[in-house]
Amino acid sequence: MPGYLPPEKRSPLQQLGDILWGVYTQLRTIVMIFSHTFRKRDVIPYPEVKPYMPPRYRGRIVLTRDPDGDERCVACNLCAVACPVGCISLQKTERPEDGRWYPEWFRINFSRCIFCGLCEEACPTTAIQLTPDYELAEYKRQSLVYEKEDLLISGTGKYPDYNFYRVAGMSIEGKPKGAAEKESAPVDIKSLLP
C-alpha cells in the first residue's frame, strides 16, 4: 500500500491524529445507527405485507382464458419448444363438439423452470403468461410439478381482448368459415362467375 506507514514508525503527532480520527468515526457510526429510529423502514413485514410487483414481472406461469371464457391454449407446442430447459410438456386433443384444439393435459415442472418468459413470447394465443406471483417455495420438489388444473386460471390475464379463434381461419362451433375477422364468405365453387 503506497503511503502507508505502520503505527510504530509514525510520529507522536500522527498517532494523536489517528486517535482523534478513530473517536470521530465511532461516534459517527453511533449517530447514524440511532438516526434509523426516525427514518422510514427498509424491511417490510413479509409475508403479512407483500411488495409491489410490476405486471410484467416473470413469476409463476398460468394458462389464461379468452374473453369468452374458453381455454386460450390450442396445444400448438410452441411454448414447449421455446423452453430452454424443456420443462413444459402437453398433449393436443380436439373437442369433438366444437372442433377447438386444446391441451388434454399440460404440465410445467417448476423445479426446472428458470422464468425466462420465452414460452410467453412464443405463445401465439397469449394463453401462457408469467404472473407477478413468485411464491413457489415447497417442501417437496414433486409439488413443483404443476398440471393443467393448477395452471389454468379463469381470467384473461394481461391481454383482455385477444381471442385467437376470431382471427384464425379454422372453423369452430359458432364461427363457421368466413366468419373470422377479415374473412369473406366462403367461395361458391359451383358458380361460373369469375
Partner 1 sequence: MATIHVDGKQYDVDGADNLLQACLNLGLDIPYFCWHPALGSVGACRQCAVKSFRDENDKMGRIVMSCMTPASNGTYISIDDEEAKAFRATIVEFLMTNHPHDCPVCEEGGHCHLQDMTVMTQHHSRSYRFTKRTHLNQDLGPFIGHEMNRCISCYRCVRYYKDYAGGTDLGVYGSAANVYFGRAEEGTLESEFSGNLTEVCPTGVFTDKTHSERYTRKWDMQYAPSICASCSVGCNVSPGERYGEIRRVENRYHGELNGYFLCDRGRFGYGYTNLKDRPRHPLIDGATVTSDVALGAARGMINGASKVIAIGSPRASVEANYALRTMVGAASFYDGHATQEGELVKLALQIVRDGPVPATTITAMEDADAVLVLGEDITATAPRMALAVRQAARGKGRALADEKKVSDWQAISLADLLQRDSYPVFVASVDSTRLDDIAHATVRAAPEDLARLGFAVANLLDASSPAVAGLDEATAAQAKAIADALAAAKKPLIISGTGAGSTAVMQAAANIAWALKAKNDATGLALTLPEANSYGLAMLEPQPLADALEALASGAADTLVVLENDLYRRAPKAVVDAALAKVKSLIVIDHTATDATARAQVVLPAATVFEGDGTVVNYEGRAQRHFQVYDPKYYDASLAQVESWRWLAVLEAASGWKILDDITGACATAVSGLAGIVDAAPGAAFRIDGLKIAREPHRYSGRTAMRANQAVSEIRQPVDPDTPLSFSMEGYNGVGGLDRPAALMPYAWAPGWNSPQSWNKFQQEIGGHLRGGDPGKLLFAGGATQAYFTDVPAAFTPSGSGSGFRVLPLHLHFGGDELSSRAEPIRERASTAFVAIARADVARAGVNGHATVSVDGELVQLPTFISDTLPAGTVGLPAGFAGVPFVAYGVDATVSGG
Q: Which residues are annotated as a binding site for [4Fe-4S] cluster?
A: 73, 76, 79, 83, 113, 116, 119, 123
| Residue 157, burial from CB neighbour count under 10 angstroms (0-12, 13-18, 19+) | buried
Query: In whole angstroms, how close is the CB of 131 to partner 1 at the nearest point?
Result: 19
Query: In whole angstroms, how close is the CB of 177 to partner 1 at the nearest point?
Result: 5
Of 57 and 144, the one with the shorter C-beta distance to partner 1 is 144
Of 115 and 132, the one with the shorter C-beta distance to partner 1 is 115
CA distance 104 to 192: 44
Q: Point out the annotated binding site.
A: 73, 76, 79, 83, 113, 116, 119, 123
- DSSP string covering 48-92: TSPPP--TT---SEEE-B-TTSSB------HHHHH-TT--EEEEE
Which residues contact partner 1 (rule: CB under 8 A)? Answer: 74-78, 80-81, 83, 85-94, 101, 107-109, 111-112, 124-125, 141-142, 144-145, 147, 164, 167-171, 177-178, 180, 182-187, 189-191, 194
Query: In whole angstroms, how close is the CB of 192 to partner 1 at the nearest point?
Result: 8
Asked if residue 99 lies in contact with residue 191, where contact means CB atoms within 8 angstroms, the answer is no
CA distance 185 to 149: 38
